[in-house]
Each structure stands twice: as structure tokens, then as C-alpha cells.
Amino acid sequence: MSQKDSFVKFEKVDKSYDGEILVVKDLNLDVPKGEFLTMLGPSGSGKTTVLMMLAGFETPTSGEIYLDGNPISSIPPNKRGIGMVFQNYALFPHMTVKENLAFPLEVRKMQKSEIDEKVGNALAMVELQDFGNRMPLQLSGGQQQRVALARSLVFEPRLVLMDEPLGALDKNLREQMQYEIKHIHEKIGITVVYVTHDQSEALTMSNRIAVFNDGKIQQISSPDVLYEKPNSSFVAQFIGENNQLKGKVKSINGENCIVTTESGDDIHALKINVNNNGDGSLVSLRPERVAINSSENFENNFDAKVKELIYLGDHIRSRVEVCGNDQFIVKIPNSYKEENLKEGSTVKLSWKASDSRALDLN
């Protein structure tokens, strides 16, 4: 990505609060214009700090942040023109919805008529036309969330930051809002940097996801790549459901390798981030990529003992013991019918070498 393409750019940014521990380590990140980038990670991974540095509430200990090609580290937050949706919305409780939306326009000394028009448009965008004169506390959580979203967009910022904006909503509303935010982003084409610890939220909305851990980006790529091709065992574990088989690298053959588990089984897998024979490795495998009693010829074929079967409607979730791992999950499709599938029975599992990824031991 060239310098021109990158709208937001972090260059060698470090951040420490106490002078001892770096919460953000040597961060380099480019966000092109119009992208929806999600920073995903467990709490304490540094993702919120990165957002706060971008908003101007924290300053980088070293390195520089560029917005549209200009360094912004020395610009105070009120001069940056970046919209932000806060975790608990931060709607001003003593102002009506309209006054909340008009606030950023008033501080920019716009004409009254212009303000009214923009506030009206913003309310229409989040479908809250009839709620303009309510106080924030008279609104439901979802409505407050939408007001906060409208307020962050009403002054037409170049960039919008969202700090776990859906964290306080219940599950259904959260899913609904995910789509609404995604649609608004698609409609107005604004650049969004979004922070969450919820992986399904990240997968639903983002163009790209940056997975944070321990102050560093572990992997940054589109949702499908992140899910299908995790390049570290942390990412594999953090995103989606994942089976792990622990072993040592036996042999490496170009792109592929063989990992021997403690139970003595050889697993054919893609070589991702193991380097030498004898290295410890976790082989990662998505449950839905494992076939049961299949006639097809895959590289990996093992007998497994069924430990537990849970009927979940669209699929049967079964926990089996294979290659010394008794927490191995297989998702058996609803269409699979076999009379003798029951707890304690033995089944044949098979999967492609290209679906199993030999990752670091973490």
C-alpha cells in the first residue's frame, strides 16, 4: 500500500503509561480511505489505547500518527475533526437529542438553518425523527446508541472511531445494530476504525480485522482470510471455534509438513509458522471441515471415539476423542443419518491436509 493510499497511518508507535510496560509495541498500521477496520482483541491487548491515541486523548510515547498524510500527534482532540462513538454513548444528559446533535455544529458556528437541516438529516439516517425532543435518558439503549452514532456523523468527520459501541446492548439488538452500522458505512463511505472484543461483531461488519494481543497486531486481513487461514495459534483460537492437536514437527516438505502427536499419530498439515523438525506445534482445524465416515480420500484419516452428542437443530455437535485430544469437536450436518451414531461408538474422521494448519505452540 503506498503512502497516498493510506488515510490513517501509524508509524512505529509505542505507548507506555507508567514508563515500564509498553501497552502498544512498535505499531505500524495503514487504513485506506473508506475502509471499515476493526481492531479485535481481548481486554488489555492495547486496542482501545490505539483508538484513544487516534482520537487524541492519549499521546504516543514514540512514533507518529498520520491522518490524510499529516502528522496529528500534536493536534488537540477538538481540532482533529474525528467522530467518535463512546462505549456508553456519552450523550449529554442535560440536552435533548436534537441539542446533542446540534452541539458539534454549534461549536463550528454554523447557521441556525444549516444546523436544523443537518440535525434533521442525521435523525432521519438513524430513523429517530420523532425523538428529537426527548432527553437521552428517555430513550432505550438501542435508540441511545443510534443517537450517539448520528452525533458522531452529523458534523461530517473524515474518520469515525467506535469504541465497543454495542457492548451495552442485548444480543438481538446488537446483531441488528451491527447491520445498521454496516449499512450506514456502505451508504456514506466514511472511514471507520472500530474496536471490539466480540469476534462475531468483527466478522459481520469489517472490511479488514486487526487482531491485537499483547500490544501487537497478530494478524491483519479480511474476515474470511482471518477465519480460514489464521497464521498463529492465538488468532486461530480467538476467532471462531477451533480444534487443536498438540505435537512435534516430524518432517517438512515445502508448503506441507507432518506433525506427530503425543499419541503417535501423524497429521498432514500446511506449514504456517513452524520452521524446524522437532519444533512443538499446535495443529489447528475448524470443526466444520472434519468429515465423518466419509468415503472420500483425504490425507488425514483417524478413528475416533464419540464422547458426547448434542443435538442443536441445524447440526449435531459431537465431542470425540482423537489423536489423544478428547475435546475435539465435530459438527455433523443435520442431513447425516446413521443409526449407530451414539455415545461410545467409534467413527472414522477425515480431513484435508490443506484444512489443517501447523501453527506455533503459543
Partner 1 sequence: MNQTQTSTGPILTTDGIPLKVSLKKAERINKIRAFLLVLPLLAFILITFLVPIGDMLARSVDDRQINTVFPKTFEVYKKWDRQGLPSEEVYKTMFFELKNSEGYAVGKASTRMNYSKSGWKSLLKKSKRKFKKIEEGPFKEQMIAIDKKWADPEYWLALGQMVDPTTMGYYLNAVDLKYDSSKNIVQQKENRRIYNKTWIKTFKVSLLVTLFCLLLGYPISYLLATLPMKYSNLLMICVLLPFWTSLLVRTVAWMVMLQQKGVLNNLLVMSNLLADENRFQLMYNQTAVVIVMTQILLPFMVLPLYSVMKTISPTYMRAALNLGASPMHAFYKIYMPNSIPGVSAGCLLVFIIAIGYYITPELVGGKDGQMVGNWIAYHLKTTLNWGLCASLGAILLAMMTVLYWAYNKIVGIENIKLG
Cβ neighbors of 213 (< 8 A, separation 6 or more) are 41, 42, 45, 234, 238
Q: Among 102-110, 231-239, 274-282, 339-347, which window interacts with partner 1 (CB under 8 A)?
A: 102-110
Q: What secondary structure, in 3-state letters, does 224-283 show?
A: HHHHHCCCCHHHHHHCCCCEEEEEEEEEEECCEEEEEECCCCEEEEEECCCCCCCCEEEE
- What 3-state DSSP class applies to 43? coil
| Binding flag, residue 76, partner 1 (CB under 8 A) | yes
| Binding flag, residue 94, partner 1 (CB under 8 A) | yes
| Binding flag, residue 83, partner 1 (CB under 8 A) | yes
**Member of 73, 87, 256, 260 binding partner 1 (CB under 8 A):** 87
For residue 308, the minimal CB distance to partner 1 (Å) is 45
Q: x/- string (CB under 8 A) for partner 1, residues 143-162?
A: --------x---x-------
For residue 116, the minimal CB distance to partner 1 (Å) is 17
**Angle (CA) 128 85 35, round 5°:** 100
Look up residue 54 and give its three cell numbers. Answer: 487516534
For residue 152, the minimal CB distance to partner 1 (Å) is 8
Which residue, 87 or 207, has its beta carbon nearer to partner 1? 87
Q: Among 51-59, 121-129, 184-192, 199-207, which window interacts with partner 1 (CB under 8 A)?
A: 51-59
- What 3-state DSSP class applies to 345? coil
| Binding flag, residue 88, partner 1 (CB under 8 A) | yes
Which residue, 148 or 205, has its beta carbon nearer to partner 1? 148
Closest CA to 269 of 168, 356, 181, 175: 356
| Binding flag, residue 86, partner 1 (CB under 8 A) | yes
- Give the integer Cα–Cα distance in Å for 146 and 160: 14
- Cα-based distances in Å from 303 to 265, 293, 294, 356, 361: 11, 9, 12, 17, 25
Which residue, 88 or 294, has its beta carbon nearer to partner 1? 88
Phi, psi of 202 (to 5 degrees): -65, -45
| Binding flag, residue 183, partner 1 (CB under 8 A) | no
Q: Which residues bind partner 1 (CB under 8 A)?
A: 55-57, 76-79, 81-84, 86-88, 90-94, 103-104, 107-108, 151, 155
